[in-house]
Amino acid sequence: MLKLKFIFLLLFITSTSSHANLILNGGFENNNISSNSWKAFSANSVTGWEGSAMELWDNFSGLQAFEGDQYAELNANGENVYSIFQSIDSQAGELYDVSFAYAARTKKNESFLFEIIDASNGFLFSQIIDDHIQKAWSTFETTFEAQSDLTLFRFTSISSGTLGNLIDGISATTASFSAQQSAAVSVSEPNLGLLFSCSIFLLIRRKVSSK
């Protein structure tokens, strides 16, 4: 029975840890600013991030955060093009799910470029995100296959000026079990249940036969 509990615990840890967010401070909550305010930062002084200037907002100007209380405005101040980036440890050949939320500040034609880049500067993914809604969050998600032990995510403003491109909830996780299997067969939650049942059945069978 103790062994059975251990296997359950092991399966639980495996299934939860594989979905941990690999992006550090992807929700921009770490550098805490006061509620209903904004503050300018150099990207390098924001936990996990590098790049140009950026702003952090805390439920400011009538827009609640997508997650937590804070989010970032890509078009900060003092420059024309704003770019922030972060690398994660990755494993070549492994699939990863990436997602984030974005919103327009003042106009629908705000836009930025989202890129996923491998360790040898090869582009794994590149898309201009230009379908923003003003003061409301849209979500973007994709899945990619890592090519190296380091993968970089970069957000670069396309629309110029110091207003716009609000982003929050940036997440990268190892792809779900079903995504990993999608090329061969579609696997859903009940199949995971089947997997659990099979391992328990095999364990009980082993126990019975060893008696």
Please tell me the distance from the alpha carbon of residue 66 to that of residue 70, in angstroms, as a whole number.
Answer: 8
Does 160 bind Ca ion (CB under 5 A)? Our answer is no
Residue 48 in the binding site for Ca ion (CB under 5 A):
no
DSSP label at 206?
A: H
Determine, following the binding rule CB under 5 A, whether residue 68 of this chain makes contact with Ca ion: yes
3-state secondary structure of 111: coil
Q: Does 166 bind Ca ion (CB under 5 A)?
A: no
In the complex, least distance from residue 54 CB atom to Ca ion, rounded to whole angstroms: 9
Nearer to Ca ion, 26 or 117 (CB): 26
Is residue 83 within a helix (H) or strand (E), and if so which, with residue range? strand 83-89
Regarding 110 and contact with Ca ion (CB under 5 A), the answer is no
The minimum distance between CB 142 and Ca ion, in angstroms, equals 20
Q: Which stretch binds Ca ion (CB under 5 A): 52-60, 78-86, 89-97, 135-143?
A: 52-60
Residue pair 72/90 in contact by the 8 Å Cβ criterion? no
Give least dist CB 32 to Ca ion, A. Answer: 5
Contact 9, 3 (CB under 8 A): no
Helix (H, G, I), strand (E, B) or coil at 47: coil
Size of the site for Ca ion (CB under 5 A): 12
Of residues 13, 26, 189, 192, the one with CA closest to residue 97: 26
Residue 32, interface with Ca ion (CB under 5 A)? yes
Three-class secondary structure of residue 207 per DSSP: helix
- Closest CB 175 distance from Ca ion, rounded Å: 23
**Which residues are at the interface with Ca ion (CB under 5 A)?**
27, 32, 58, 65, 67-71, 73, 162, 168
